[in-house]
């Protein structure tokens, strides 16, 4: 039995836990405002807000209901577009109407839900924040300018939002219906969390955010036996322990973006992670899901490979494994089906550390990489003391470039070293031609990304002209 609050109403359902929330909303609960576009997380027509109690308050994040397992919403507040309606148009709805932000209207519920999410954040909302909130929503009619104008108006109206209590403020100012005020107490009444002792039953599919599984196994997930780990609090959290950082395997990309500790240690984290998917997918997609999905171009995997990370696995017993040793061949892992990735840990960057992530895709945002790469260098004056370089899209698995790293260690930081390293790198990759480009093109891309690491991290030392000379 799954229990959650859908808009103002508590829903108890014995529908299969693997059913998508989208289908439950539309076909069981008969709320057709949430639209079906792609069913792959790409268009945002099915966006809902998902609220859960954290640190004594209800935190809301946008998610694509087409990829959200019903089991994942137990104990949560789901807001569909119908749940935003009041007697009058809300300022969000009004801005979309006034600026002609809607034409055929198919995408509009998704935009309205995503933009309404801006009311519920604790930070001041800038125009940039409002635009970012809709980075997972696609419109085929308007050309976006009218929607951008609406986003601008909404950001302005939210400029004096009470960041301490955005929910009460939003209700008072007519952004949200009054039933939102009572949600926290109602959620407390619903048991939401799994305990860490509950582990997936034999043969069931481990589901976390579902953003890979529901795209790849769309037809089977809603009747497969699923074990969700998405609500397992023991798999979440970002902790600093001495010189190590430990991140729960169930943490989502947005958790990393919200972590002050990580932002302090990785000044370019936002730039790097905004290249990964879109806001609603970053709110759902977990680190463990990215590692175990084992896509040769997984961005997070490539990111953490270059941090020389170690993952912890829990099955019948517990063990640690270098992330780079997880991958044995295309989608083949050193992991039993019942083992859960509980966390990933790595040494925090020190003052002599340089870290960079690069990604090339057909479009900058909401696209998977053609080739990606990350690099971590530990410097000792002009010498590279230690190097960790990873790449995606150039082999059947996300790759830690062990030979290139070994070659770079102990070398002086100069153009000749980088040029020689390219030779080593080329010998240890095996790209194939596919929809994202030919093998030769991918080799060329990785060479450019490798150069980009040095240009980005040591701009005073390197020029592209000399690197390609």
Ligand X SMILES: Cc1cc2nc3c(=O)[nH]c(=O)nc-3n(C[C@H](O)[C@H](O)[C@H](O)COP(=O)(O)OP(=O)(O)OC[C@H]3O[C@@H](n4cnc5c(N)ncnc54)[C@H](O)[C@@H]3O)c2cc1C
| Pick 108 or 343: Cβ nearer ligand FES | 108
289 binds ligand X (CB under 6 A): yes
Q: State how far the Cα of 290 lies from the Cα of 24, in Å rounded to an integer.
A: 26
| Pick 180 or 230: Cβ nearer ligand FES | 230
How many other C-beta atoms can be found within 10 angstroms of the C-beta atom of residue 425?
Answer: 24
Helices 145-157 and 108-117, axial angle in degrees (round to 10):
30
211 binds ligand X (CB under 6 A): yes
* Stretch near ligand X under the rule CB under 6 A, chosen from 25-33, 298-306, 401-409, 435-443: 298-306
* Residue among 259, 286, 343, 390 that touches ligand X (CB under 6 A): 286
Joined tokens for residue 211: 């953003």
| Pick 158 or 276: Cβ nearer ligand X | 276
66 binds ligand FES (CB under 6 A): yes
Nearest-CA neighbor of 109 among 209, 15, 11, 25? 25
Nearest-CA neighbor of 397 among 299, 325, 306, 297? 297
**Where do the DSSP E strands lie in 186-339?**
205-207, 226-228, 238-241, 244-248, 310-314, 318-322, 327-329, 332-333
* Residue among 2, 80, 108, 208 that touches ligand X (CB under 6 A): 208
73 binds ligand FES (CB under 6 A): no
Q: State how far the Cα of 250 lies from the Cα of 233, in Å rounded to an integer.
A: 8
How many other C-beta atoms can be found within 10 angstroms of the C-beta atom of residue 125?
Answer: 23
Nearest-CA neighbor of 15 among 89, 92, 69? 69
290 binds ligand X (CB under 6 A): yes
206 binds ligand X (CB under 6 A): yes
367 binds ligand FES (CB under 6 A): no
138 binds ligand X (CB under 6 A): no
How many other C-beta atoms can be found within 10 angstroms of the C-beta atom of residue 233?
Answer: 14
| Pick 95 or 284: Cβ nearer ligand X | 284
Least gap, CB of 95 to ligand FES (angstroms): 15
| Pick 142 or 170: Cβ nearer ligand FES | 142
Least gap, CB of 455 to ligand X (angstroms): 23
Q: Which helix (H) or strand (E) covers residue 391, if one does?
A: strand 383-392
* Residue among 41, 209, 285, 398 that touches ligand FES (CB under 6 A): 41
* Stretch near ligand X under the rule CB under 6 A, chosen from 86-94, 139-147, 209-217, 398-406: 209-217
Given the DSSP bridges, would you call strands 9-13 and 2-6 parallel, antiparallel or unpaired? Answer: antiparallel
DSSP code string of 349-363? P-TTEEEEEEEEESS
Least gap, CB of 249 to ligand FES (angstroms): 24
# binding residues, ligand X (CB under 6 A): 35
Least gap, CB of 21 to ligand X (angstroms): 14
298 binds ligand X (CB under 6 A): yes
42 binds ligand FES (CB under 6 A): yes
Question: Starting from the edge strand earliest in sequence, which strands make up the sheet with 318-322, in order?
Answer: 238-241, 244-248, 340-347, 310-314, 318-322
* Stretch near ligand FES under the rule CB under 6 A, chosen from 79-87, 133-141, 167-175, 430-438: 133-141
Answer with the entry of ligand FES, ligand X, none that 212 interacts with (C-beta below 5 to 8 A by kind): ligand X
Q: State how far the Cα of 374 lies from the Cα of 355, in Å rounded to an integer.
A: 7
**Are the CB atoms for 455 and 462 separated by under 8 Å?**
yes
143 binds ligand FES (CB under 6 A): no
Answer with the entry of ligand X, ligand FES, none that 140 interacts with (C-beta below 5 to 8 A by kind): ligand FES
45 binds ligand FES (CB under 6 A): yes
140 binds ligand FES (CB under 6 A): yes
- Please name the residues in contact with 351: beta carbons below 8 A apart, sequence gap of 6 or more: none
38 binds ligand FES (CB under 6 A): yes
- Please name the residues in contact with 253: beta carbons below 8 A apart, sequence gap of 6 or more: 273, 276, 277, 281, 282, 283, 285, 287, 300
* Stretch near ligand FES under the rule CB under 6 A, chosen from 51-59, 138-146, 252-260, 431-439: 138-146
DSSP letter at 34 equals S
Q: Where are the alpha helices (DSSP H) in 144-273?
A: 145-157, 166-172, 183-188, 213-216, 218-221, 253-257, 260-265, 269-273
| Pick 249 or 431: Cβ nearer ligand X | 249
Q: Which residues contribute to the site for ligand FES (CB under 6 A)?
A: 36-39, 41-46, 64, 66, 102-108, 139-142
Q: Which residues contribute to the site for ligand X (CB under 6 A)?
A: 40-42, 67, 205-213, 215, 229, 235, 249-250, 276-277, 281, 284-286, 288-290, 292-293, 298-300, 340-341, 368
């Amino acid at each position: 039995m799954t229990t959650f609050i859908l808009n103002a109403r508590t829903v108890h359902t014995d529908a299969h836990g693997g059913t998508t929330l989208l289908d439950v909303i539309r076909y069981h609960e008969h709320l057709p405002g949430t639209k079906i576009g792609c069913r792959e997380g790409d268009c945002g027509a099915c966006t809902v807000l998902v609220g859960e109690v954290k640190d004594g308050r209800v935190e809301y994040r946008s998610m694509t209901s087409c990829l959200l397992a019903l089991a994942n919403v137990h104990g949560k507040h789901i807001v569909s577009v119908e749940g935003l309606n009041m007697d009058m148009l809300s300022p969000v709805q009004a801005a979309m109407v006034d600026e002609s932000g809607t034409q055929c209207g198919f995408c509009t519920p998704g935009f309205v839900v995503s933009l309404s999410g801006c009311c519920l954040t604790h930070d001041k909302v800038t125009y940039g924040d409002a635009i970012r909130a809709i980075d997972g929503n696609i419109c085929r009619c308007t050309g976006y300018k009218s929607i951008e104008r609406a986003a601008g108006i909404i950001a302005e109206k939210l400029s004096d939002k009470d960041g301490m209590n955005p929910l009460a403020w939003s209700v008072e100012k007519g952004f949200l219906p009054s039933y939102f005020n009572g949600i926290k107490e109602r959620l407390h009444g619903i048991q939401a969390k799994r305990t860490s002792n509950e582990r997936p039953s034999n043969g069931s599919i481990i589901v976390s955010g579902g953003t890979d599984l529901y795209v790849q196994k769309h037809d089977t997930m809603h009747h497969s036996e699923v074990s969700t780990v998405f609500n397992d609090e023991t798999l979440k959290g970002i902790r600093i322990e001495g010189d190590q950082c430990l991140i729960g395997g169930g943490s989502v990309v947005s958790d990393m973006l919200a972590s002050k500790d990580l932002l302090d240690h990785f000044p370019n984290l936002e730039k790097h992670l905004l290249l990964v998917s879109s806001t609603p997918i970053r709110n759902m997609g977990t680190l463990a899901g990215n590692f175990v999905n084992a896509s040769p171009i997984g961005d997070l995997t490539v990111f953490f490979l270059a941090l020389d990370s170690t993952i912890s696995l829990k099955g019948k017993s517990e063990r640690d494994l270098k992330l780079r040793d997880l991958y044995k061949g295309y989608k083949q892992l050193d992991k039993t089906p019942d083992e859960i990735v509980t966390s990933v840990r790595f040494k925090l960057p020190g003052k002599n550390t340089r870290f960079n992530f690069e990604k090339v895709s057909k479009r900058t945002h909401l696209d998977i990489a053609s080739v990606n790469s990350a690099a971590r260098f530990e410097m000792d004056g002009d010498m590279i003391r230690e190097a960790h370089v990873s790449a995606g899209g150039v082999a059947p698995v996300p790759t830690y470039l062990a030979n290139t790293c070994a070659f770079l260690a102990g070398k002086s930081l100069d153009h000749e070293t980088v040029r020689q390293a390219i030779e080593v790198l080329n010998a240890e990759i095996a790209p194939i031609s596919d929809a994202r480009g030919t093998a030769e093109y991918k080799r060329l891309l990785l060479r450019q990304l490798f150069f980009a690491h040095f240009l980005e991290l040591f701009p005073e030392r390197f020029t592209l002209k000399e690197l390609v000379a």
